[in-house]
Amino acid sequence: MNLRGICYYLGLFSFPIGVLAFFNILYSSYFDYLLNLNSYIITLIASIFNGLFLLFIGKKGEKKLDFYEQLILIVLTYFLISVFISIPYFFSNYNINLINSLFESFSGITGTGFSIFNNIKYIDPTLIIWRSSSQWIGGLYFLLFLFIFFSNSNFNFKLINLVNTGNGNLNSEINIKRTTINIFLIYTLLTLFLFILFSSSGVRLFNSFNISMTLISAGGFLPTNTLNQIINTNYQKILLLISFLISTLNIVFIYNLFFKKNIVKVHYEDISIFITILAFSIILLITFSEFNFIECFINVLSSVSTSGITLSEPNKNISLYFLFLAIMGGSIISNTSGIKFLRIYILLKASLIEILSLVKPKNVVNQNILYSENKINNENIKFSFLIFISFFISLFLLTGVLLLDNINFESAFKLSILTLTNTTDSNLHSLSIADFNNLLTSSKIFLILFMIIGKIELISIFLIFRRIFIKN
């Protein structure tokens, strides 16, 4: 295994944390928020030192990593970055112990949004920015992970045109690099776009800055205790809908929306399935709940985007449907977690094909995805099934662990779903666990592990174990 090459890239990935820490140092100094200034200085020194040290170790290593080494790099990056993100929490003046600091950090990096802070109102503004920044950079790293995973020519689980950039073969190294740069730019520009929109709508600059970073990454950290303290007018609610849409949709589709033609043909499956789910859910909720159209729209998009933040509080029965939407998730190439709606569609369509072939064996069954020219193949079915099974294996494992913490079954089951879908615990889900500080240390550790599993999917962990323990 190319450990030196992995160390080299880990060193590079350490420096963005230093940039975030330096920004917080400047912000703290300019606005005279000096309460936790030392914690950001420690983070800056630690991230730079670690980056230089790992670069020194890896400078003579092979820079080209194979697919399995790239997967290992992604997992190690999540753990490494989360450790650095936890430093300001641990060294703050809020007496946060190590496990709680790591819990907050991993929750931010994975975009989950679980928090050990019960009242955001009394938190240092610099620490609020740090929480939001952790979700933003976590979302960026995840998008890079997706492109590593889906564009690898040696282990290609790519689903049809979902990662097609319109520039030809994505599997070429040149196009991967170009696409990575484009994704970084579009991710940053979209964040800036949301910031300008929210600021111009009457939202405070501080709140606009934080929710822009949170929403673009499908995260759940807020600069206030509730979203209602930020979003009030109908115009602001529309901007919230736009934010959810951006985090839910295929990031490549958003890129192509600005720079390519004939995007409907390339992204037909994503668009059509998403619109179908959205329309069905809104009609269902309007019929069987007391929400108005905008509230239904917001709640559905919040769930599908796996953000989970909301302006309203549904009844307990309706909350189960929002959990189902969170399990479904958004587009495959997006910051959302969950199984992803195209994979679920492929499994349902494959099952229907098998049933029809048994009933009428001589008939030719349409295997196209909706009305597009792309057909469901065995590779799509196998991988979608593996993701589906691994999700529910993880769900039952985590639920069993949480039951040992004297959490009732309903709460443990809901909390497990939210953890694996990286969805925050809001009024949308009627979760009775109000304070994560009261959980056992073992429960927090397992929640951290399954936050990571929920983000990168259990199949990735299996592939890493395969590389480490199975030589052939």
Asked if the structure places residue 304 within a domain, the reply is: no
Structure-token match 């090459």, residue found: 5
Tokens representing residue 363 in the block: 């008939």
Asked if the structure places residue 31 within a domain, the reply is: yes
Asked if the structure places residue 6 within a domain, the reply is: yes
Q: What is the pLDDT of residue 28?
A: 92
Please state, in angstroms and rounded to a whole number, the distance separating the CA atoms of residues 317 and 320: 6
Asked if the structure places residue 265 within a domain, the reply is: no
Cα 138 to Cα 7, 32, 143, 456: the distances in Å are 19, 28, 9, 12
Asked if the structure places residue 234 within a domain, the reply is: no
Please state, in angstroms and rounded to a whole number, the distance separating the CA atoms of residues 414 and 420: 10
Query: Which residues constitute the domain of residue 84?
Result: 1-96
Question: Could you tell me which of 144, 136, 141 has the C-alpha nearest to residue 219?
Answer: 136
Q: Tell me, what DSSP letter sits at residue 368? A: B
Asked if the structure places residue 297 within a domain, the reply is: no
Q: What is the pLDDT of residue 370?
A: 57
Structure-token match 């300019």, residue found: 30
Asked if the structure places residue 58 within a domain, the reply is: yes
Number of structural domains the chain divides into: 1
Query: What are the helix (H) ranges across 360-407?
Result: 378-403
What share of residues in the chain are helix, strand, coil (percent, to 5)? 70, 0, 30
Q: What is the pLDDT of residue 269?
A: 72
Asked if the structure places residue 14 within a domain, the reply is: yes
Walk along the chain (472 residues) and give the pLDDT tens digit of each residue.
788 888 988 998 899 899 999 999 999 998 888 888 999 999 999 999 999 999 999 888 777 777 778 888 888 888 999 999 999 999 998 889 999 999 999 999 999 999 999 888 889 999 999 999 999 999 988 887 777 666 654 444 443 333 344 443 444 443 445 666 777 888 899 999 999 999 999 999 999 999 999 999 998 899 998 898 999 899 999 999 999 999 888 777 777 776 665 555 666 777 888 888 899 999 998 888 878 888 899 999 999 999 988 887 777 778 888 999 999 988 887 888 888 888 888 888 888 877 877 776 655 555 565 555 566 667 778 878 888 898 999 999 999 999 988 888 988 999 999 999 999 988 888 776 668 888 889 999 999 999 999 988 777 787 777 777 765 5
